[in-house]
Amino acid sequence: MSAQDAKAELRARFAAARRAMPDDHRARARRAVAGHVLARADGWPVVAAYEPLRTEPGSVALLAGLVAAGARVIVPVTLSDRDLDWAPWSAAGRGDALGREAVGDVSAVLVPASAVARDGTRLGRGGGSYDRALARVPATAPTVALVFDDELVADLPREPWDVAVTAAVRPAGWTDLGVAAGG
């Protein structure tokens, strides 16, 4: 099986598990993930994050918590070529587009993921958007995948263009993955 086929199969499996998760379990998990991120966010003046889908472990409460802690939060805007532009986020909505290079000024990136492996390999949605964007992130900025507990796995298929993340945050806690920031 090719790496792309294996990734597609894994994405489908993790997506089905997320859809089957009871809402109360997801809500508890989101609160725990937000708590772990906010405990580390001191000193992050600019954070690239994302507006979560209904089944994802990220939350609008996390974004609001980052803003309340003094961070400027930027979120992605997917372009027609699948690259990412960025816009400021507030509870009132998104601001005007800042450009693709805006992610080059962040102190941390919160990355969506279907799963993440202990070597930092991230299983995304398959468009390559974040792999392109992560190449523009400062080498000192942690890149952090937000996942549910059973989505931190031993290994995942990896292709040459896949950019590793430096940490995973699950309801169970923050896990540094032994990958240098920018690596």
Q: Binding site for substrate: what residues are annotated?
A: 51, 56
From residue 41, give the alpha-carbon distance in Å to each of 56, 104, 123, 172: 20, 18, 24, 17
User: DSSP class of residue 70?
Assistant: T
Which residues participate in the annotated binding site? 7-11, 51, 56, 122-130
**DSSP three-state, residue 133:** helix
Instruction: Considering only CA atoms, give the Rg of the chain.
Output: 15
Pure H helices in the chain: 3-20, 23-40, 60-68, 129-134
Which residues participate in the annotated binding site for ATP? 7-11, 122-130
